[in-house]
Amino acid sequence: MTAPTLIACSHGTASNDGRRAIRSLVEQVRAILPNVPVREAFVDVEQPAVDAVVAEVAASGPAVVVPLLLSTGFHTRVDIARAVRPYPHVVAAPALGPHDLLALVLEDRLREVGLRSGDAVVLAAAGSSDPAAEGDVRRMGERVAELLHARVTVGFAAGAHPRIEAAVADARQKGARRVIAASYVLAPGHFAGVIANGGADLVTAPLAPDLRIAAVVAERYETARAALTATV
């Protein structure tokens, strides 16, 4: 029996570097799950759109949509949920974060830019007007703080407060000599640019591609696949 198709659904970006990063992440997922058909889909900017991909795949068998998105928000609650709703044999997995493996990736990105004792860290996320998304980011910040044994605050590029510039300024007002913005985005693109211009002394690279993120995607797929198998 063929495994349910994994539909890897990302936001979409006009950035060529961002597109390459997401494609590389999807290839890593394929390597981890060699017996699983994997399709790409998008909620904005790029094609094919998630609803079109779900409809095509659902015509021939079951599927699991895994959001290549770090937090719950409009795209998971509305776009992806709407795409899977007509098909009882298609389910959507949760967003990738918060997750301990993401915290480990963030730690490595911070070490790469030279994190040292006394630095203030702002977990800089894209942001969303959905309170659940803000909660996901704050929980992710708590995991990173526990891992680093340091205080980590959060800032958002849009949709929620504080904005990144305000979070950076607040860290300086509280005595930080250096402020590092930990980019909590998967790939280069619009929000990565906003984070880079948020006033921090150092800015980490986006998270993807990274085998640990691919492992989170695979974990989300397998958990949703098990639940799907139990119901169809």
Q: What does 13-46 look like in DSSP terms, one character per residue? A: -S-HHHHHHHHHHHHHHHHH-TTS-EEEEESSSS
182 lies in the same domain as 216? no
Kindly state the average pLDDT of the residues 92-120.
Answer: 97
- What integer pLDDT is reported at residue 232 of this predicted model? 59
d(CA 121, CA 142): 12
199 lies in the same domain as 104? yes
130 lies in the same domain as 35? no
Three-class secondary structure of residue 167 per DSSP: helix
91 lies in the same domain as 128? no
d(CA 150, CA 97): 20
- What integer pLDDT is reported at residue 1 of this predicted model? 62
77 lies in the same domain as 110? no
123 lies in the same domain as 191? yes
Structural domain of 142: 100-203
Q: Model confidence at 15, in pLDDT bands (50, 70, 90)?
A: very high
- What integer pLDDT is reported at residue 135 of this predicted model? 94
pLDDT above 90: residue 229: no
AA letter at 178: R
Percent of the chain with pLDDT over 90: 91
- What integer pLDDT is reported at residue 35 of this predicted model? 97
- What integer pLDDT is reported at residue 34 of this predicted model? 97
Q: How many domains does the chain have?
A: 2
158 lies in the same domain as 133? yes
Percent of the chain with pLDDT over 70: 99
- What integer pLDDT is reported at residue 230 of this predicted model? 73
Q: % helix / strand / coil in the chain, to the nearest 5?
A: 45, 15, 35
Q: What angle do CA 96, 194, 13 make, to 5 degrees?
A: 55
143 lies in the same domain as 52? no
Instruction: Read off the CATH number of the domain in which 173 is found.
Output: 3.40.50.1400
Q: Model confidence at 115, in pLDDT bands (50, 70, 90)?
A: very high
153 lies in the same domain as 92? no
Kindly state the average pLDDT of the residues 66-78.
Answer: 92
Average pLDDT, the chain: 96
40 lies in the same domain as 110? no
Predicted structure pTM score: 0.95
d(CA 95, CA 220): 8
Host H or E run for residue 124: strand 120-125
AA letter at 69: L
DSSP string, 88-147: TTEEEPPPS-S-HHHHHHHHHHHHHTT--TT-EEEEEE---S-HHHHHHHHHHHHHHHHH
